[in-house]
């Protein structure tokens, strides 16, 4: 079963530009690609790094 099939999809808003079928289609493609690769999208608060920690990355 596809992930999007388990999520109720509200009708697209016609009041905001870019929020119609095109935006929904792009999201569907992204979620289908993640599912095909057996990946998940996680939304969480940003981590707060210090300047020294950022310097260590480079």
Q: Where are the domains of the chain?
A: 3-8+17-57
pTM score: 0.43
pLDDT of residue 3: 57
pLDDT of residue 23: 75
pLDDT of residue 17: 56
pLDDT of residue 46: 84
Measure the CA angle with vertex 25, ends 21 and 29; round to 5°.
Answer: 175
Phi first, then psi: what are they for 20, rounded to 5°? -80, -145
What are the tens digits of pLDDT across the range 4-55? 555 556 666 565 555 556 778 898 999 999 999 999 989 989 888 888 888 8
Q: Give dist(CA 51, CA 55) in Å, integer.
A: 6
């Amino acid at each position: 079963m596809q992930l999007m099939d388990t999520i109720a999809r509200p009708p697209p808003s016609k009041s905001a530009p870019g929020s119609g079928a095109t935006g929904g289609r792009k999201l569907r493609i992204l979620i289908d690609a993640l599912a095909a690769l057996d990946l998940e999208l996680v939304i969480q608060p940003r981590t707060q790094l210090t300047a020294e920690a950022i310097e260590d990355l480079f």
